[in-house]
A and B are shown apart, each in its own frame.
Chain A
Amino acid sequence: MSEETKLQTDNLDLYYNKFKALNHISVHIPANRITAVIGPSGCGKSTFLRAFNRMNELIPDVRVEGQVLLDGQDVFALDEVELRRRVGMVFQRPNPFPKSIYDNVAYGPRAHGIHNHQMLDAIVERSLRSAAIWDEVKDELGKSALRLSGGQQQRLCIARALAVEPEVILMDEPASALDPSATLRIEELMQQLKAEYTILIVTHNMQQAARASDYTAFFMMDDNRAGTLVEFGPTRQIFTNPRDHRTEDYISGRFG
């Protein structure tokens, strides 16, 4: 691949206590592209995603072997607070805080020490614009974020992630709780965002992977129920001319 690598794993193994959840994952995620992670339920897609911002560590008794690199740097050598600023995350269910729209977006910058009002105002506006939700909420920034619709909440969560100026955005099935039109808006937004950010998205929806991503990683469970990477490549190739017959079976809907 000639593309510049943003994220990389080398022989990544991950254990929940004694259960091996990821088995020898080695992959290069290109910068400023959208990479989709697809595969059947329980094959470790989310676990893989969370390896990059070390969110797996929130679960007791998780052990990681192998390397996870951000710009060639070992993420375990970075402070997790700084790592998570650089690698933002959007969750499956929109999870705005029970605060105002403004305070939701300003939460990250404030946590990182920005308290200047003008600076915060500028960050909030810029982030909400980038997440294509500014026009809908600009007159009611003081309104509780919980009163927004699901699709708006998810775009607010994207704005919240953008506010700390990350380089990578991890998306864990960001549209699975949304209706089709809200899903489409998120996908359009991803296309706008990839100019500045590297996007890694887990999705259950193969059409979504096919239409919205540049690269696709196909995961499956191996015989020991550990997640393995079956195939990685440009999305067009994965969907039209997969090298592995399991990939073909999966995308043609024979299982999963």
Chain B
Amino acid sequence: MTTVIHTVGQTRNTSGQVKSCSTSLAHVTSSQYLRDKSNLKSRKLTQQSAFALMWLAGSVAVAVLVAIVGYVVWLGAKVITPDFILQPPRGGMAGDGGISYTLLTTFYLVVLTVGIATPLGVAAATYLVEYAGAIRKHRRLWSRLIGIARLGVETLAGVPSIIFGLFGYALFVSALHFGFSLLSATLAGACLILPVIIRTTEEALRAVPNSYREGGLALGATKWQTIWGIVLPTAAPGIITSIVLSVGRVLGETAVFYVTLGGSYRMPTSIMSSGRTLALHVFYLATETHAFDKAMGTAAILVLAIILINLVINLLARRLNRMMKG
């Protein structure tokens, strides 16, 4: 059972053997181990293979991204003309017309959902991080409720979006008689992105050094003044990230809006208008018409819009960061 160890290299074996070694190794001192350079080469090799693997994984990720975007844009580019963007869709089996109303609906929906969910989400996250943490342990009921709220947020973030859709359908479309409308879709969409905003904002707030809070309070600022004037501005880049994520989520979402926004391709004239987002339009074009090329064109616009928004907002966040940190 016991194997006599002659060289250090042999310790790099299975754990069972290593264990048995330790008993028979009493005559080899640890300094002999540390001075021995014979395993240096293999350690370097391990490092190099790890780097190579990581590099490979990174390249695969980038390649997949480039392939998808490239494919969609390549196929879609044929139909993208000024007319395609500026003309309203005309429906029918041929998928005639462009995407102007769809773009407009998408724009409204993004602005409305994010506009509703951001203040709510930021406020909720601020409460959870800045106030709920300071609640004394002996207030059992209260801290338990906060625990439940936190669990709820985490669970909601992982719930499939169709559940949000069905909830929105049952509550806003049916029970409240909002029908298939921007209003129903906005409210359901806001529910969908709320957990995203809360969690990302929570992380951003937790990353704000406590010394900033102490610094503000020690000057005689109230807790709210400290939060509003120091903590939230410091967390702003992270909060902006949460907004970017939610914009992306709304742009890409189909399930929720399929059952709350309806599928009308008409011009959205009021908050009660039915409509379709770009993503839904892609879905309808691909499944109900022969205009697969237009589905690809719409998809290309969608992908480019997401990339553009990401770039612009990232730039904004970076500028904000530079303003604060100099």
Contacts and interface: CB of A to CB of B under 8 A. Distances in A.
Q: Could you say which of B215, B217, B222, B225 has the most chain A C-beta atoms within 10 Å of its C-beta?
A: B215
Contacts of B324: 98-99, 144, 146
Interface stretch (A21-29, A68-76, A79-87, A202-210): A79-87
A72 B326 CA distance: 44
Contacts of B234: 97-98
B220 A82 contact: yes
Contacts, number: 91
B214 interface: yes
B218 interface: yes
Interface stretch (B134-142, B157-165, B286-294): B134-142
A91 B209 CA distance: 13
Interface in B219-237: 219-222, 225, 229-230, 233-234
Contact of B325 (A89, A91, A144): A144
Q: Is the interface of B mostly helix, strand, loop or mixed?
A: helix
Given A60-B135, A61-B137, A91-B211, A84 B325 contact: no
A95 B217 CA distance: 12
Given A95-B215, A157-B215, A108 B325 contact: no
B212 interface: yes
Interface in B134-153: 134-138
A108 B219 contact: yes
Contacts of B218: 53, 55, 84, 88-89, 91, 161
A93 B222 CA distance: 22
Given A60-B135, A93-B211, A97-B212, A164 B326 contact: no
B212 A84 contact: no
Contacts of B252: none
A160 interface: yes
B263 interface: no
Contact of B136 (A60, A83, A146): A60
Contact of A95 (B209, B220, B323): B209
A89 B233 CA distance: 23
A107 B211 contact: no
- Kindly state the interface size class of chain B when it binds its partner: 20 to 34
Nearest to B324: A98
Q: Could you say which of B133, B136, B218 has the most chain A C-beta atoms within 10 Å of its C-beta?
A: B218
Contacts of A160: 215, 219
B97 interface: no
A96 B215 CA distance: 8
Interface string A145-166: 1110000000001001101100
A108 B221 contact: yes
A85 B213 CA distance: 15
A147 B324 CA distance: 10
Nearest to B221: A111
Contacts of B230: 97, 107
A93 B215 CA distance: 11
Interface string A161-184: 101100000000000000000000
A144 B220 CA distance: 22
B229 A111 contact: yes
A61 B214 contact: no
Contacts of A161: 218-219
A115 interface: no
A164 B214 contact: no
Interface in A102-129: 107-108, 110-112
Contacts of B325: 98, 144, 146-147
A164 B212 contact: no
Given A84-B220, A97-B230, 17 more contacts: A17-B137, A55-B218, A58-B134, A58-B214, A60-B136, A81-B220, A81-B222, A82-B220, A84-B218, A84-B219, A89-B218, A96-B215, A98-B233, A99-B233, A108-B220, A111-B220, A146-B324
Interface of B: 133-138, 209, 211-222, 225, 229-230, 233-234, 323-326
11 contacts: A58-B134, A60-B133, A88-B218, A91-B215, A95-B209, A98-B233, A98-B325, A108-B221, A111-B229, A146-B324, A163-B219
